């Protein structure tokens, strides 16, 4: 077949692609100068935007951007880096949400440290894949060393192990997979006759608190458990799992012939930043012979805190732990890990493939991470944390996290003293949940005023805050992860919220008064 046949023809122009021009874009020894030049162009664009960002958001709407993006003909390249960067600026960079801005107060998105950005640039260029040794070499051992270091900080013991993941949702999913398989093994081992797998799975239950992360329910669904497999227990006034209710739930399951395969405790709830009573929960799980998983995706920053490590007391008794370095270690997404007390438990994620990780390789002691992961191809995200620890050190990271926890305490005091607002449970970490109280407004108007304030604030781009529900009522939420945010920033945002909410309440009341009756 001719090399100029239809398989090489461009579908958009009918022209034969220029292979030599295409090869010039490959990163190799011959294109190092181009690599340095092109990346510098991109870095300069980002630096200019960050330096000039006077607010966290422009307020752009999906309706405004969608036509621009839909109109891009991806079959016709621009052929020029500057032109492509100009286009990227118009479609994304100009309206990007800037987590580094001190008035971004919304979700669990942190500003990132420069050593981690250096690692991101390097790991992307080398493009190591962390599934097998022959694709990663030293990167495999570096990830293992970071897992060992994190397990040591948690206190899981010498038999601990783990693996980096894409985030807390994946870590929680894998933890539930391990717990499910261990529960199944125990049930089958204790049975007089081998029950059907479906019969056993139908009896399995996961217990978590009403304030736990939704990924637990999602994991149950993905693991083939019933829709009623996740049992939630209420929280106390501080939004922490009630251990008396946990004990009663486990006992009720036992009496009903159900099997609690795992209890999921939370060290840093998404809404309230609260930490479940880990020591008491660990004691209950140990007495009942139940797997304890601690979701510390948010609270893992306490592992390096110079002043607050004690808040995680009891986490060392967990069977598995989720940590998200990209939340409270100031790392770029993605950077997360699942840790287990007994490294042998990771075998439940192992599957040997002759082309990749044959049993023979394991017998020869060749290290690989694919035997521990539910992913195959996987980035060397550990590089970012490695450089962060080697350049900054863990104490510096902990000091940054301590700063945002201190800031949240100051924000709570500010709100608690302000009669315009009602503040919810006090966080042990860096969230503050509150709402504006319009004068004389009932529950419905109060909800609507707070919803409007959040939307109006986002539309202005002056600040971004999150929202949630507390006992069915709409509240606003600060998630403070930027050590550069000040109390003055928070006070200013509160004034903006009050202005938007008060305007809406007045306008709604005036409209009601002017509405004809009957």
Q: Which tens digits make up the pLDDT trace of 37-70? A: 999 999 999 999 999 999 999 999 999 999 999 9
Residue 11 is given by DSSP the state T
Q: What is the CATH number of the domain that holds 196?
A: 3.40.640.10
| Residue 6, domain member (yes or no) | no
Segments forming the whole domain that contains residue 426: 395-514
Q: 288 and 401, same structural domain?
A: no
Q: Across the beta sheet with 431-436, what order do the strands follow?
A: 104-105, 464-470, 473-479, 431-436, 421-423
Last residue of a domain, one of 374, 391, 408: 391
pLDDT at 514: 53
Last residue of a domain, one of 391, 419, 442: 391
Q: Which two tokens stand for residue 437?
A: 């109280």
pLDDT at 72: 97
Instruction: Give dist(CA 388, CA 328) in Å, integer.
Output: 13
Q: Which two tokens stand for residue 111?
A: 């500003």
| Residue 87, domain member (yes or no) | no
Domain count within the chain: 2
Q: 401 and 382, same structural domain?
A: no
Q: 402 and 386, same structural domain?
A: no
Q: 382 and 254, same structural domain?
A: yes
One-character DSSP codes across 454-509: HHHHHHHTS-EEEEEEETTEEEEEEE---TT--HHHHHHHHHHHHHHHHHHHHHHH
Using the structure block, give the residue that is written with the tokens 């009932």. Answer: 442
| Residue 78, domain member (yes or no) | no
Give the list of residues 6+ apart from residue 466 with CB closer than 8 angstroms, or none.
Answer: 105, 106, 107, 454, 476, 477, 478, 479
Q: Which two tokens stand for residue 329?
A: 């270690």
Q: 403 and 338, same structural domain?
A: no
Question: Which 3 state secondary structure label does DSSP give 231?
Answer: strand
Q: 215 and 360, same structural domain?
A: yes
Q: 386 and 490, same structural domain?
A: no
| Residue 77, domain member (yes or no) | no
Mind listing the pLDDT tens digit for each residue in 233-290? 999 999 999 999 999 999 999 999 999 999 999 999 999 999 999 999 999 999 999 9
Q: 301 and 163, same structural domain?
A: yes
Last residue of a domain, one of 339, 359, 391: 391
Instruction: Give dist(CA 161, CA 320) in Å, integer.
Output: 10
pTM of the model: 0.93
| Averaged pLDDT score across all residues of the chain | 93
Q: What is the CATH number of the domain that holds 451?
A: 3.90.1150.10
Angle at 127 between CA 126 and CA 131, to 5 degrees: 130
Question: Which 3 state secondary structure label does DSSP give 433?
Answer: strand
Give the list of residues 6+ apart from residue 124 with CB closer than 8 angstroms, or none.
Answer: none
Listed residue (149, 156, 184) closest to 321, CA to CA: 156
Q: Which two tokens stand for residue 284?
A: 């209950």
Q: Give the helix/strand (H/E) hosting 233.
A: strand 230-233
Q: Using N-to-C axis directions, what is the helix angle for 487-514 and 443-460, rounded to 10°? A: 120
Q: 452 and 357, same structural domain?
A: no
pLDDT at 4: 40
Mind listing the pLDDT tens digit for each residue in 439-488? 988 999 999 999 999 999 999 999 999 999 999 999 999 999 999 999 99
Residue 384 has pLDDT above 90, yes or no: yes
Q: 489 and 465, same structural domain?
A: yes
Residue 158 has pLDDT above 90, yes or no: yes
Instruction: Give dist(CA 185, CA 292) in Å, integer.
Output: 17
Pairing of strands 204-209, 230-233: parallel
| Residue 60, domain member (yes or no) | no
| Residue 90, domain member (yes or no) | no
Using the structure block, give the residue that is written with the tokens 């270091």. Answer: 149
| Residue 203, domain member (yes or no) | yes
Q: Which two tokens stand for residue 210?
A: 């009403």
Q: 329 and 455, same structural domain?
A: no
One-character DSSP codes across 295-319: EETTGGGGGG-TTTGGGGTTGGG-S
| Residue 436, domain member (yes or no) | yes
Q: 457 and 474, same structural domain?
A: yes
């Amino acid at each position: 077949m001719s090399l100029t046949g239809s398989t090489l023809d461009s579908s958009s122009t009918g022209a034969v692609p220029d292979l030599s021009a295409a090869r010039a874009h490959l990163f190799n020894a011959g294109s190092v100068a181009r690599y340095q030049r092109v990346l510098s162009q991109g870095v300069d664009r980002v630096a200019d935007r960050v330096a000039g960002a006077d607010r966290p958001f422009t307020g752009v709407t999906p309706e405004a951007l969608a036509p621009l993006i839909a109109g891009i003909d991806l079959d016709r390249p621009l052929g020029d880096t500057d032109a492509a960067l100009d286009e990227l600026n118009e479609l994304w960079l100009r309206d990007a949400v800037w987590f580094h801005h001190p008035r971004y107060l919304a979700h669990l998105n942190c500003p990132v440290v420069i050593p981690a950005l250096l690692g991101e640039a390097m790991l992307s260029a080398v493009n190591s894949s962390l599934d097998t040794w022959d694709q990663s070499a030293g990167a495999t051992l570096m990830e293992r060393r970071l897992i060992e270091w994190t397990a040591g900080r948690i206190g899981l013991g010498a038999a601990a192990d783990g693996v980096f993941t894409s985030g807390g949702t994946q870590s929680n999913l894998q933890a539930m997979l391990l717990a499910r398989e261990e529960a199944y093994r125990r049930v089958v081992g204790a049975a007089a006759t081998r029950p059907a797998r479906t019969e056993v799975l139908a009896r399995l239950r996961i217990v978590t608190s009403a304030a736990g992360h939704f990924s637990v329910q999602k994991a149950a669904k993905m693991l083939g458990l019933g829709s009623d497999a996740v049992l939630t227990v209420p929280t106390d006034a501080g939004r922490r799992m009630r251990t008396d209710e946990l004990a009663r739930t486990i006992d009720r399951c036992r009496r009903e012939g159900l099997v609690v395969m795992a209890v999921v405790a939370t060290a840093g709830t998404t809404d309230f930043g609260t930490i479940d009573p880990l020591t008491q929960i660990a004691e209950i799980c140990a007495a009942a012979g139940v797997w304890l998983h601690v979701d510390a995706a948010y609270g893992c920053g306490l592992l390096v805190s110079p002043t607050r490590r004690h808040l995680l007391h009891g986490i060392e008794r967990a069977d598995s732990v989720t940590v998200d370095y990209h939340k409270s270690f100031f790392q770029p997404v993605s950077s997360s890990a699942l840790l287990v007390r007994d490294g042998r438990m990771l075998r439940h994620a192992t599957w040997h493939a002759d082309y990749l990780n044959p049993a023979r390789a394991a017998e020869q002691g060749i290290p690989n991470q694919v035997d521990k992961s539910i992913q195959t191809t996987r980035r060397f995200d550990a590089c970012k944390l490695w450089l962060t620890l080697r350049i900054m050190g863990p104490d510096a990271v902990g000091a940054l996290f301590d700063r945002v926890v201190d800031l949240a305490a100051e924000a709570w005091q500010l709100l608690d003293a302000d009669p315009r607002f009602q503040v919810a449970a006090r966080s042990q970490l860096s969230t503050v949940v509150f709402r504006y109280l319009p004068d004389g407004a009932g529950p419905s108007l109060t909800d609507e005023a707070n919803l409007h304030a959040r939307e109006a604030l986002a539309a202005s781009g002056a600040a971004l805050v999150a929202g949630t529900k507390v006992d069915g009522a709409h509240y606003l939420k600060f998630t403070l992860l930027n050590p550069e945010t000040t109390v003055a920033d928070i006070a200013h945002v509160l004034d903006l919220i009050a202005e938007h909410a008060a305007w809406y309440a007045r306008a709604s009341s005036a409209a009601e008064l002017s509405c004809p009756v009957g």
